[in-house]
Chains A and B, each alone.
Chain A
Amino acid sequence: MSLEISRRDLIKGVGGLSAASVLGLTSATGLDAAQAASSKQAVRFANWSLYLDYDNKAKNYPTLVDFTKKTGIPVKYMEVIDDNDTFTAKVTPQLRLKKDIGYDIVVLTEWMASRWINGGYVTKFDDAKIPNKKNVLPFLLNRPLDPGRHYSLPWAGVIAGFAWNTKHTPKGIHTMEQLFAPANKGKIEVLSEMRDTMGLILMWQGVDITKPFSQDKFMNAIDYLQKMIHDGFIRQVKGQSYQEDLISGDAVAVIGWSGDINQLNAQNSNQFGFAIPDSGGTFTTDNMMIPAQSPNKVSAEAVINYYYDPVVAARVANYINYICPVSGAQEAMAKINPAQVHNKLIFPDDAMWKKLHVFHPLSQAEQISFSTAFQKASGNA
């Protein structure tokens, strides 16, 4: 599959240049034929790794297998997204040229999803085809990125907080001071996702991240991050690969994502702890969207609708361990895995929700200056 995509990307990338005709291999006929094919065309679903229930023995995704059995619509599931920015940068040329990007469903974090919606890169849902939308948790239906949810629906909720190696830190980490304790020096990693790392530091410094705040406050938090990097406390600023460093012992304390730690524990005899900082954790959602030029919109809507069935949602949540956006899933979970019914990282209670905060939407100017400052502190600019 990857070969097919890269070839298609290549051809499209060159397509903008008149030089493509020189090559004489514009496979336009192949693409047209694919688009004209019936609704039995496979839905191409792009998602993050470890983000859908997977059967290790059968080597398939059980909920997807059931979907195809029920509807006859095949789904091609691809774990191709590992960073909002990188994935978007890769498909932007096709989006701008209004070409099919090779995916019918993409899953992106709120702030990036908002950029896609504002750019006109996604298609409006036909609500009649997604009756299960009524099952989405009400407060997730009216997010600033897409009021009323006409272009996006939440796949899962993500919490950023502290994670640690329980052998190294038996007492756990609940405050920024405990994260940057001398014993952890040189073995601390923070997320390259700016809103998570900076959000936690800002909240610890007493800033309300849910409302606009001054540039000075952001720069104060950057100064703190910079100092921790300069003084050798922070080993690296990285994405999901912090997991490997936790396993190998190269990192003992991190700012990480809730579901990752749950999954790591399942494979590493509960060696890791996760907590939402006392000063507050960040919450955001990853969202399913249909790219504007998708030739399989109707089938894609069927897939999206399927995942808002409470039983299906509970099966997925049981595996991925991230916040489940579907009401009724907690009750359904009782039959699937009773141990997970009261897992607050999947079904947060009110006390938990009070500790979670959403980074307010940034203006374009803020996005550029904050992101530049964050990259500069990380040594990248």
Chain B
Amino acid sequence: MSTALLHATAHEKKPLITKKKLLPYWLLAPGIIWLVIFFLVPIYQLISTSTQTQGFGIGTYVQTYRFSNFIDAITSSKAQLIRSFEYAFLATVFALIISYPLAYAVAFKSGRWKNTLLVLIVAPFFCSFLLRTVAWEQILGEQGLVIKFLRFVHIIGAQGHLTATPFAVVAGLTYNFLPFMTLPLYASLERIDIRMMEASGDLYANALTTFRKVTIPLSMPGVVAGTLLTFIPAAGDYINAELLGNPGTKMIGNVIEARYLEIVDYPGAAALSLILMVTILILVMAYVKRAGTEELV
């Protein structure tokens, strides 16, 4: 049968075959055009802007291939660059600590509440990122309950405050990116065959050992995906630092914004954007290489 089919196709007219061969490319076309216009062209512009120098008039720059722009950018904004990765790392760790039990409970223990809980996890997305962060300003601010309680139990003095602190920035980042951690974790935990855990019990492993030797390794794809989805956007975020932080908690996103809009230093802003992208790329590649991606998708 199959030979007959092969035979038949071999006799088809040639143009049809090329047409068939081209079909996947036609299907890819919208995606490729999209990538060219909205990714390749901007990236090219970013790279070309990053080596320009001041021309005549504010906001005009000429191409001089000045690669030391990158060194200048790193030297002047080292503190914020390092801080961005610190905060993003902390937010990722906290999000993991909060999300793992949450995702575990939803996947295995929630019974008929499962869908409701999932909707609740996704619910913050119905409200804009910016609004949610502004809401945190009020939750932690002078009129919020948190500060009143902490003053009541004398953890914070009358002069102390929660907003405009590193704590508020990391808390904001953790909160804002929490669903990006919870959902992949849930997806990979939910896929685990419950009989694996039973088998582990049959082989005399206690609950803790089962969790350590069976559940965690099987949920690793979720952990890897979740940490990436949290760390990458958190490192480049500037809204949380802008609204919840103080001048000493500014992140690299704030520097890029100020260089672009306030100082009108386009090359500096472009150089920093590229540095941020490349650093994240290297970190992510190293991480993925260590953690493995076989089951990431």
Contacts and interface: CB of A to CB of B under 8 A. Distances in A.
A30 interface: no
Contacts of A371: 262-264
8 contacts: A19-B36, A83-B261, A85-B262, A92-B59, A185-B159, A186-B164, A380-B258, A381-B77
B254 A380 contact: yes
A352 interface: no
Contacts of A23: 37
A371 B58 CA distance: 12
Interface in A244-260: 248-250
B45 to A, nearest CB: 9
Interface string B65-81: 00000000000110010
Interface of B: 33, 36-37, 41, 54, 57-59, 76-77, 80, 137-138, 141-143, 159-161, 163-164, 246-250, 254-255, 257-265
Interface string A307-321: 000000000000000
B124 to A, nearest CB: 22
Nearest to B142: A249
Contacts of A372: 263, 265
Given A89-B264, A115-B58, A249-B143, A17 B37 contact: yes
A145 to B, nearest CB: 15
A187 interface: yes
Contacts of B258: 375, 378, 380-381
A380 B260 CA distance: 11
Interface in A96-124: 115, 118-119
A255 to B, nearest CB: 14
Nearest to A190: B247
B161 A375 contact: no
B36 A236 contact: no
A36 to B, nearest CB: 30
Contacts of B247: 229, 234, 236-237, 377-380
Nearest to A370: B263
B261 A380 contact: no
Q: Which 4 A-B pairs have CB atoms at the shortest separation, nearest pair first?
A: A379-B247, A380-B258, A379-B250, A249-B142
A190 to B, nearest CB: 10
Contacts of B257: 380
A192 B258 CA distance: 11
Nearest to B79: A379
Specify which of A92, A249, A367, A380 lies most central, judged by the most chain B CB atoms within 10 Å of its CB: A380
B255 A380 contact: yes
A380 B80 CA distance: 8
A86 B261 contact: yes
Contact of A375 (B57, B58, B160, B262): B262
B179 to A, nearest CB: 27
A22 interface: yes
A22 B255 contact: no
A235 interface: yes
A14 interface: yes
B261 A85 contact: yes
Given A17-B41, A236-B164, A381-B255, A89 B260 contact: yes
A82 B138 CA distance: 22
A371 B137 CA distance: 28
A283 to B, nearest CB: 22
Contacts of A368: 54, 58, 263-265
Interface string A337-371: 00000000000000000000000000010011001
A376 interface: yes
A89 B261 contact: yes
Contacts of B57: 118-119, 364
B259 A381 contact: yes
Contacts of A119: 57
B141 A250 contact: yes
Nearest to A189: B164
A310 B61 CA distance: 45
B142 A376 contact: no
Nearest to A228: B247
A376 B265 CA distance: 13
A248 B263 contact: no
A186 B37 contact: no
Contacts of A229: 246-248
Given A22-B37, A119-B57, A235 B263 contact: no
Contacts of B262: 85, 192, 371, 375, 380
B250 A186 contact: no
Nearest to A380: B258
Contacts of A380: 247, 250, 254-255, 257-259, 262
Given A186-B159, A229-B247, A235 B164 contact: yes
Contact of B263 (A118, A236, A381): A381
Contact of B58 (A22, A185, A364, A376): A364
B248 A379 contact: yes
A378 to B, nearest CB: 5
A230 to B, nearest CB: 8
Contacts of B250: 378-380
A372 B249 CA distance: 18
A17 B45 CA distance: 11
A14 B141 CA distance: 42
A86 to B, nearest CB: 5
Given A229-B248, A250-B137, A380-B258, 5 more contacts: A17-B37, A186-B161, A364-B57, A368-B265, A376-B76
A235 to B, nearest CB: 5
Specify which of A17, A92, A192, A375 lies most central, judged by the most chain B CB atoms within 10 Å of its CB: A375
B159 A375 contact: no
